[in-house]
Structure 1
Amino acid sequence: MARPVQRPRSGTIPSMEVATNAIRDSATFIVFGASGDLAKKKTFPALFALYRKDYLPRDVHIVGYARTKMNTEDYHRRISSYIKRDNDPNFDTKLEEFKNLSFVYSESFCRLNAHLVEIEKSYRTSNRIFYLALPPSVFIPVAKHAREECYSRGVNRIIVEKPFGKDLQSCRELLNELKKYWKEEETYRIDHYLGKEMVKNLLVLRFANITMGAGWDKNSISNVQITFKEPFGTEGRGGYFDEFGIIRDVLQNHMLQVLSILTMERPVSFSPEDIRDEKVKVLRAIPPVERKDTLLGQYVAADDKPGYLDDDTVPKDSVCPTFAATVLWIHNPRWEGVPFIMKAGKALNQAKVEVRIQFKDVTQGIFAEISRNELVVRIQPQEAVYLKLNTKSPGYAFRAIPTEMDLTYNRRFTEATIPEAYEVLILDALRGDQSNFVRDDELDVAWKIFTPILHWIDGKEGEKPKPEPYPYGSRGPATLDAFVESYGYKRTEEAYNWPTTNLSNL
């Protein structure tokens, strides 16, 4: 067994806000499902990124646990296959070090524990993080065996990936079973959107700027749209997607997390429980989504691109929605009457995730029919915040035109590197910071909001609704614009082009 690689202490977790229960000196990451796509594409690249930046503890090992038989060479090839090479002259050295810290096992849990003990025999403390990069069907048996056979005397934490159930009942069953083996404070339910830079930035934008807080309520805001667009379809993975659908895949978790941060009241502090308390409070004020507030779609073939039903893994009579727009209402003094429109879909015209807050019309009189103000937070790609407002057009004419105050990150922060969401969240798990992980009661109330509409779509309350077809590469169903506008959204009447500055005219 290889001896642990000694690394300088200067590389321990670098933060002024490190939790008191942070793992600093030593840790072993056990990645269950090491042969799967999630581990290969997200978990291992994130661990390597943290390693090369010296954000992992000084003594660290990564142990991949997989049912698929692999030798060490195959395993190392697999864990590095999605690691992006850059121009750092130390890249190859760091990658080789990372591989030397990484082992693969496919034996019993008891034998796995023996290997872990051997790896950790030079550690001062045996701290273990168990990462379940697995389908939910095996969460409980793996969590059970990890707790009963691989629990160490140091700090133990378990990271669980979504989906956390398929509806309220299955979620509660999963939560109750997991709690038999792991305490809530040891459990980290990961939703990677909570690690995205602009989602984390919502807290700063809202609570560190008095100008934002002044108009952040029903008196100033007409409507809010949270949009998730993917330009590709299921691409041969439709069989898996068909079991869940777009609402379970995106709305009930990622988009609802964004909404809760966007709408919650100011927390007492930035401690994990204070933040999550406020998220739960606002989610409890949201009634279940109604059918009349829902638009469903399914993409069809267009321009040589296959339709959803053309995927050989999808049942030919499937009415699973690949697009959904739903409207949520928050019944509290701040947000009563403001529609929150969530839109998500596959095979659309672009890749984009954004929050668009549209303010109400100005008082009529001296100005009429001018564009509404909008605050847009672009989560991806090209992170940005911009405020759309009206200004006088340059020249002799007295005319208001729309323009924007633009904070696009790659232009403003030219030297900054934005970490991947999984890097942020794994580091948070090391720190013992659960702020950006989903608490059990938060998960419960999230399923309450969506379970009735999901049961309708699943056919548990009669005939399944038939989604509206939309062409691959379009903006979505043909009725989408009318649907959104029925909740008060107003488009700019005139064509809007971002103004540019011609320096030769100055």
Structure 2
Amino acid sequence: MGSGQWHVEKRSTLRNESFLKEYGPVSETGSLSIVVLGASGDLAKKKTFPALFNLFHQGFLNPEEVHIFGYARSRISDQELRDKIRGYLVDEKNASEKSEALSKFLQLIKYVSGPYDSEDGFKRLDKAISEHEISKKTSEGSSRRLFYLALPPSVYPPVCKMIKAWCTNKSDLGGWTRIVVEKPFGKDLESAEQLSSQIGSLFDEPQIYRIDHYLGKELVQNMLVLRFANRFFLPLWNRDNIANVQIVFREDFGTEGRGGYFDEYGIIRDIIQNHLLQVLCLVAMEKPVSLKPEHIRDEKVKVLQSVIPIKDEEVVLGQYEGYRDDPTVPNDSNTPTFATTILRIDNERWEGVPFILKAGKAMSSKKADIRIQFKDVPGDIFKCQKQGRNEFVIRLQPSEAMYMKLTVKQPGLEMQTVQSELDLSYKQRYQDVSIPEAYERLILDTIKGDQQHFVRRDELKAAWEIFTPLLHRIGRGEVKSIPYKQGSRGPAEADQLLEKAGYLQTHGYIWIPPTL
């Protein structure tokens, strides 16, 4: 073990020991109060409450222990909040079979109204939580309080200040308090560090859960198993065999009424700097010492710290035609709605292998996948390289799947080769298994105290160090966005960049998800 790794692990151990000394051992039973701040907003209605309901319906939230609190500025009643979210919890297909569970779940929800910087509002919230804990006959050390901030990052500091002052566990009950914060975590390195410092001055790192829902996706969670539990991948996963890696995110719609918000961030901040970079870490990291969260996150940080500065000639930005027609978007906006950028990792395993991160809105299709392209076969006696290289593709969404593109003989009397695949499509293979939504898994991890799939502060800092210089150059207009048509593949310059990086397009082959 290198001295740097020892110091990282030592700091992590000391931090956790300090946390345990102050707060005592974590409890996984007893009164559980889940507080959704920003309860009347879209994120809470569309993601947070549905995830909580699914956990409840599947038996992961015990109605004898849990109570759910909504907090927001809107002056509404408990029943009005329940009515607002009801339609997001079940669809018409399964409404009847879930009606009883839905009724019980909605009765667990209580609403408290108040500003996000108001002592009175958070005192009322604490009183409501305390009444719940008393009603559940909470024993000492078994009070659990989870605060989910479904809010803009600008209000994180005042909200966390109010939670710390008025809503953390009292000494007579003990237990734990945890904070879940949503992305974006700042707009660049300076703002992210400022936000981290403000929250970090109030709560210890083991209490802070920076949620990136991509880390909760089933196929992303499978990456460690694929890489480190399968013998045939181990010798291939390096610069000797892999030509390039693509991590792609596409949406077939534009900003759709969110133009003003999106224009403040752009596609790099919105998708690439967090979602795709997290996926890159799992693809590129070394084998951790164990599956303990800190060991895994230590390896992810090492990958990020090995990324060399991004060159402007290895970036293509795009903006779809019609984006500026949104009245909330400035007429001279240079904000990219599309970006392809090449990251290079300066270490023994990956030197010389381009990692291509690509994301865009208003594209020809909707998908997210990881594409590992292998090098050509030396001495190609079949003269079939023009058909395409071997690729291992992990389809994250939709139609979750893993498939290996490979060259085979076409059936018949002649020796002709074609591209085909070895395919594991989840809907076909796991017909009786319900794949959980990312937010379900991550909220459950938060309740369990498992931070493996959450972003650590030094990891966040390293990620912003990679992209902040480029973002500042874009902000100064030094790197321009190229117009592209809606429903296209993006700017032609992006495909040219991929070709320059060594990616070879497969011709005459399309993967078709199997039907049941």
Q: Same fold (TM over 0.5)?
A: yes
Alignment of 1:137-156 (within 5 A): 137-152=154-169, 153-156=174-177
2:392 is the counterpart of 1:375: yes
Secondary structure of the residue aligned to 1:368 is coil
Question: Would the alpha carbon gap of residues 264 and 171 (structure 1) be closer, same or farther in structure 2, given more than 3 Å must change?
Answer: same
8 Å CA contact 2:306–2:347 kept in 1: the answer is yes
Q: Which of the numbers 184, 206, 230 marks the counterpart of 1:209? A: 230
Amino acid at match of 2:353: V
- TM-score scaled by length of structure 2: 0.89
Alignment of 1:16-415 (within 5 A): 21=26, 23-57=28-62, 58-85=64-91, 86-87=93-94, 89-107=96-114, 108-123=121-136, 124=138, 125-152=142-169, 153-300=174-321, 307-370=322-385, 371-415=388-432
Residues 273-310 of structure 1 show CA distances to partners (whole Å, capped at 9, x for unaligned) of 0110111111110023221110000001xxxxxx1011
Corresponding residue of 1:12: none
Quote the Cα distance in structure 2 between the aligned partners of 1:499 and 1:393. Answer: 18
Residues 183-228 of structure 1 show CA distances to partners (whole Å, capped at 9, x for unaligned) of 0001100000000000001111111101111200000000011000
- Structure 2: runs of 5+ lacking an equivalent: 1-24, 115-120
Residues 346-397 of structure 1 show CA distances to partners (whole Å, capped at 9, x for unaligned) of 0001110000110000012413342210000000001000000011121221
Quote the Cα distance in structure 2 between the aligned partners of 1:248 and 1:191. Answer: 13
Corresponding residue of 1:433: 450
8 Å CA contact 1:403–1:499 kept in 2: the answer is no
Quote the Cα distance in structure 1 between the aligned partners of 2:150 and 2:211. Answer: 11
Corresponding residue of 2:479: 465
Quote the Cα distance in structure 2 between the aligned partners of 1:417 and 1:349. Answer: 29
- Structure 1: runs of 5+ lacking an equivalent: 1-19, 301-306, 502-506
Amino acid at match of 1:98: F
Across the aligned residues of Structure 1 and Structure 2, the Cα RMSD in angstroms comes to 1.6
8 Å CA contact 2:126–2:167 kept in 1: the answer is yes
Secondary structure of the residue aligned to 1:475 is coil
Quote the Cα distance in structure 1 between the aligned partners of 2:34 and 2:512. Answer: 50
8 Å CA contact 1:46–1:420 kept in 2: the answer is yes
Residues 6-31 of structure 1 show CA distances to partners (whole Å, capped at 9, x for unaligned) of xxxxxxxxxxxxxx845233200011
Quote the Cα distance in structure 2 between the aligned partners of 1:239 and 1:271. Answer: 41
Residues 222-269 of structure 1 show CA distances to partners (whole Å, capped at 9, x for unaligned) of 001100000000111100000000000000000000000011011111
Residues 406-459 of structure 1 show CA distances to partners (whole Å, capped at 9, x for unaligned) of 111001111110000000000000110000000000000000000000001111
Quote the Cα distance in structure 2 between the aligned partners of 1:465 and 1:479. Answer: 14
Residues 309-354 of structure 1 show CA distances to partners (whole Å, capped at 9, x for unaligned) of 1112111111110000000000000000000000000000111000
- TM-score scaled by length of structure 1: 0.91
Secondary structure of the residue aligned to 2:89 is coil
Quote the Cα distance in structure 2 between the aligned partners of 1:237 and 1:31. Answer: 23
Question: Would the alpha carbon gap of residues 374 and 436 (structure 1) be closer, same or farther in structure 2, given more than 3 Å must change?
Answer: same
Residues 86-133 of structure 1 show CA distances to partners (whole Å, capped at 9, x for unaligned) of 437541111111111001111411121111111111332321001100
Secondary structure of the residue aligned to 1:358 is strand
8 Å CA contact 1:21–1:431 kept in 2: the answer is no
8 Å CA contact 1:319–1:464 kept in 2: the answer is no
Corresponding residue of 1:303: none
Secondary structure of the residue aligned to 1:29 is strand
Secondary structure of the residue aligned to 1:211 is coil
Amino acid at match of 1:402: Q
Quote the Cα distance in structure 1 between the aligned partners of 2:511 and 2:488. Answer: 23
Quote the Cα distance in structure 1 between the aligned partners of 2:156 and 2:412. Answer: 66
Moved more, 341-350 or 87-96: 87-96
In the TM superposition, residue 492 of structure 1 has moved relative to its aligned partner by 2.4
2:454 is the counterpart of 1:421: no
Secondary structure of the residue aligned to 1:214 is coil
Quote the Cα distance in structure 2 between the aligned partners of 1:339 and 1:454. Answer: 20
In the TM superposition, residue 473 of structure 1 has moved relative to its aligned partner by 0.7
Quote the Cα distance in structure 2 between the aligned partners of 1:239 and 1:351. Answer: 23
In the TM superposition, residue 464 of structure 1 has moved relative to its aligned partner by 4.2
Amino acid at match of 1:346: K
Q: Post-superposition, which runs of at least 4 consecutive aligned residues in structure 1 deviate over 4 A?
A: 497-501
8 Å CA contact 2:384–2:417 kept in 1: the answer is no
Secondary structure of the residue aligned to 1:479 is helix
In the TM superposition, residue 80 of structure 1 has moved relative to its aligned partner by 1.9
Corresponding residue of 1:6: none
Secondary structure of the residue aligned to 2:32 is strand
